[in-house]
Structure 1
Amino acid sequence: MNYVMKVFNFFIDAGPTVMLPVIITIIGMIFGLKISRAFKSGLTLGIGFAGIKLILDFMTTNVGPAAKAMVERTGVKLDALDVGWGSIAAITWASPIIAILIFAILLVNIVLLILKRTHTLDVDIWNYHHMAIVGVMVYFVTKNVFLGVGAAVLMAIITFKISDWSQPMVEDFFGIPGVSLPTVSALSSLVIAWPLNWLLDRIPLFRNSKFTIKDAQKYLGFFGDSMIMGGIIGLAIGALAGYDIKAILQLGVSMAAVLVLIPKMTSLFMEGLMPISDAAQKWSQEKFKGRKLFIGLDAAVVVGNPDVITTALIIIPLTIATALVLPGNRVLPFADLAVVPFRVAMVVALTRGNLLKNIIIGLVITASLLWCGSATSPVLTAIAKSVGINLGSSSMLISSFAATSMIQSYLVFIAFTYNPLIGIPVLLVVFGAVWYFFDVVRDVNKERTEA
């Protein structure tokens, strides 16, 4: 045991760029990949993490001083920089307990399938990081592995159930049968959107709105490009910071570069995990023959929908404006503006493309992301530093529209860290009641309607 611990500590001390290839290689071999292919996947992941570290260092070095100067000059305190979900994913996969969390999430999915408590088979292992980050943050705060694993497991159960409940929307609106979307970054919006959509349906102005996608599309286009978006944001921050024209232009180009490079580095993560995901899918199909299953895929399969893209392009500038005026907000939206389509995709399906309702619900979701992101940014920043990410000498915190900025992730994090003896039972009771409503009451009403 002492020898095993020495080996384990060696890889932890070597850092995530060494530990990641080892962990992914082991996971790949468990699912039946050859060692050469599994190792290549792990090494690709390690390279992606190294690239994200470089970009994150570059971004904080450039934006950090400018944001600080902007705060001092304008009095707007936005000291938590949105570094993007890709950076948060890299931090998650670099955690020393990530292997335990990933296996726990996978095991929960298998157990729920065996017990017929879910129909979603989540083969999108890459997006496990959305569930795992909650466990990572709980463990970092409490230093308790059991609480960390418990938080990740509860996140998994919630995610799989919401995937089941929302699957008809994926099939009816997006036209993708037999598929659910257990991507927390997309599903999280439904926690707010379901009750808010019910409320808006009681107001004729929103229920009968004729504001169409075509009406909005003619005002967008050029400004929807992430490169242009990054450049404009960089120029604006530089101008508000009081920089001279040369420094403003340099910051604009730097921020445009970041929004182009982060997706490229993130794609290495997805490239590295794709063979693992494929192997997991084959394994699961062999183990669960003859069952009604929804294959859980990345929500990326629906974000190209024109209604989704148009809604997102309207929400993006409104998100920046909201950040400036929202009381209590500390988050400076930046990198995750490019993935706003993920945050609104299921909202669009829920409202069946009602653009006015999409905008209202989208803004409420944005506010929740900013508030929850502000509240948990100190913990996220401390974790980033603990895995070796250099955030420079500035006093900037980091945040994202992922991690515990998402409402159900935030609620689980608070329940497991603030007062677990009270928070966890309360959360379980609330979730149990919702589970009962969707799985029992709704099915009974459906049968009565059909009869």
Structure 2
Amino acid sequence: MLDAVHYILGLGAAIFLPAVMIVLGLCMGMSLKKAILAGVTLGIAFTGMNVVLGFMFDAISPAAKALVENTGLALTAVDVGWSPIAAIAWAWPYALLLFPLQIGINLLMLALKWTNCLNVDLWNVWGKIFVAAMVMGLTGSLILGLIAAAIQIIFELISGDLIQKQLYQICKIPGVTCTHPMMLQGPLLALVNRALDFVPGLGSVNMDAKALKNKIGIFGENSVMGFLIGALIAVMGGYDLKGILTTAIQVSTALVLFPMVAKLFMQALAPIADAAGTFMKKRFQGRAFYIGLDWPFLAGSSEIWVAAIILVPFELILAIVLSKLDMNNVIPLASVINIVVTVPALVVTRGNLIRMIILCILVTPIYLVVATSFAPILTDMAASTGTLQVGSGQFITWIQLEAPEFRWALAHAFNGEIAGIGILVVFFVLFAWYYKRMRAVNRGIDEMDKK
């Protein structure tokens, strides 16, 4: 039985999630033909997005590595990306307990009207497995690990409710929201974004990718921006002319393809969301329900990718500076395209590209410091589960630890550490402020819709 479950999960999000969506569509009254078509299209969208993202990573990562090597720094923790970390999580002996935990909490919160979000993104349950395994690794307690995971599940659902209206304004896909843990970075980003309101000359600046294009003409086109940014990264990596031009055109290609692939998510999700909305409204009068999904349905927003690529040289510079201060031991590699910060920044700033870039630069040190802190734990987890073998004196880690301050606080608070408890309390207070602020934003959106 366990082998069968692991086999199904091993098929990956591009197969697992479309299968879930087909079943959901059929349960919500869709015809077999429409449900299958929507599911297959969703699988194509996921696959296409991974292909383009992998293509861009292959173009930028070698340049990033070359830049760090040119500094002569010996960074012993390697950023391996999300895939090996997910494999470590799935190999945790108690991983399957998180499925009933997530589903049970979700159904209970729906019944108690604490959320209107039905989270069908069961593939990303591995993010909760990761937290539970991390806490158990520190404390030795399975119960504490499951409690920590439950806290994350609750916050993800509440966050999904809070951001749904903003997401609709961005992607125009009705009835869906994002329950990915990256969105738990929202409270901190919202606080910093609020502080930017008081910076002279910045409070009135509101520039998305379209406005940027109007301002600077051809230099605002995705293709040209990608070419220029890719060339800059290659120059920083010490490439020759051929390497610079090749990297530039590869990054340019990726930026042009992302919005094209993202349209497939709308084609796949809109029919399912409509069917689910109709089904729920018939049975629960007066309630609006949302389907909780992974983040890629937002990938058509050029701001995500422009901010992520502009962030790369700053990540590398910060990694070097922090290493000299003995605060970082990580070489940004597999996660150097850090979309887990640019996506929530898109939501918090409502697509204001200038603010997105500023927010991402300001919080990047948190990602590097937490990744350094977690490196020994992740390396031990890889060894204990037999997932990866790491050489002596080397460590593995993951820069894209979604909402790193929250996860660090959870792990260390449950380990009884004062710093962890203090930061977790601060996060709860900050989330309460964020909840109130986002509710006010949502009321403003409702009032605008009525006019």
Shared fold by TM > 0.5?
A: yes
Q: C-alpha displacement at 1:99, in angstroms?
A: 0.3
Instruction: Name the structure 2 match of 1:297.
Output: 293
Choose from 86, 90, 96 the match for 2:87: 90
Matched pairs, number: 365
Q: C-alpha displacement at 1:110, in angstroms?
A: 1.1
Distance 1:109 1:95, change over 3 A: same
1:38-49 to 2 correspondence within 5 Å? none
Q: C-alpha displacement at 1:393, in angstroms?
A: 2.6
Choose from 169, 172, 176 the match for 1:175: 172
Q: C-alpha displacement at 1:423, in angstroms?
A: 5.7
Q: C-alpha displacement at 1:166, in angstroms?
A: 1.6
Choose from 189, 195, 209 the match for 1:193: 189
Q: C-alpha displacement at 1:358, in angstroms?
A: 1.2
Distance 1:107 1:318, change over 3 A: same
Q: Tell me if 1:384 matches 2:389.
A: no
Q: Tell me if 1:370 matches 2:375.
A: no
The CA distance in 2 between the partners of 1:311 and 1:101, in whole Å, is 34
Instruction: Name the structure 1 match of 2:132.
Output: 135
Alignment gaps of 5+ in structure 1: 1-6, 12-17, 34-54, 240-244, 261-273
The alignment partner of 1:389 has SS state of coil
Greater Cα shift, 109-118 or 351-360: 351-360
Q: C-alpha displacement at 1:337, in angstroms?
A: 2.1
Q: How far does the alpha carbon of each residue in 1:104-134 deviate from its partner, in whole angstroms, 9 at most, with x for none?
A: 1121111111111111111011122222211
The CA distance in 1 between the partners of 2:297 and 2:280, in whole Å, is 24
Identity among equivalent pairs (%): 26
The CA distance in 2 between the partners of 1:306 and 1:395, in whole Å, is 40
Paired AA for residue 337 in structure 1: V
Q: How far does the alpha carbon of each residue in 1:300-342 deviate from its partner, in whole angstroms, 9 at most, with x for none?
A: 000221122212221122212221112401221111123x234
The alignment partner of 1:337 has SS state of coil
1:28-47 to 2 correspondence within 5 Å? none
Instruction: Name the structure 2 match of 1:221.
Output: 226
Q: C-alpha displacement at 1:363, in angstroms?
A: 0.8
**Contact 2:78–2:333 (Cα < 8 Å) also in 1:** yes
Q: C-alpha displacement at 1:432, in angstroms?
A: 6.9
Choose from 157, 181, 184 the match for 1:184: 181
Q: C-alpha displacement at 1:182, in angstroms?
A: 0.5
The alignment partner of 2:335 has SS state of helix
**Contact 1:95–1:387 (Cα < 8 Å) also in 2:** yes
1:217-296 to 2 correspondence within 5 Å? 217=220, 220-222=225-227, 236=237, 289-290=283-284, 291-296=287-292
Choose from 310, 317, 333 the match for 2:313: 317
Q: C-alpha displacement at 1:356, in angstroms?
A: 2.1
Instruction: Name the structure 2 match of 1:265.
Output: none
**Contact 1:323–1:329 (Cα < 8 Å) also in 2:** yes
Instruction: Name the structure 2 match of 1:333.
Output: 332
Distance 1:446 1:374, change over 3 A: same
Distance 1:97 1:229, change over 3 A: farther
Q: C-alpha displacement at 1:152, in angstroms?
A: 0.6
Instruction: Name the structure 2 match of 1:39.
Output: none
Paired AA for residue 20 in structure 1: H
Distance 1:132 1:217, change over 3 A: farther
Name the Cα RMSD after superposition: 4.7
Choose from 21, 29, 39 the match for 2:7: 21
The CA distance in 2 between the partners of 1:429 and 1:305, in whole Å, is 31
**Contact 2:138–2:411 (Cα < 8 Å) also in 1:** no
Q: Tell me if 1:400 matches 2:398.
A: yes
Q: C-alpha displacement at 1:286, in angstroms?
A: 7.9
The CA distance in 2 between the partners of 1:23 and 1:223, in whole Å, is 39
Could you state the TM-score of these two structures normalised by the residue count of structure 1? 0.67
Alignment gaps of 5+ in structure 2: 12-16, 25-53, 255-267
The CA distance in 1 between the partners of 2:424 and 2:92, in whole Å, is 26
The CA distance in 2 between the partners of 1:335 and 1:440, in whole Å, is 35
**Contact 2:186–2:344 (Cα < 8 Å) also in 1:** yes
Distance 1:396 1:116, change over 3 A: same
The alignment partner of 1:221 has SS state of helix
Could you state the TM-score of these two structures normalised by the residue count of structure 2? 0.67
The alignment partner of 1:180 has SS state of strand
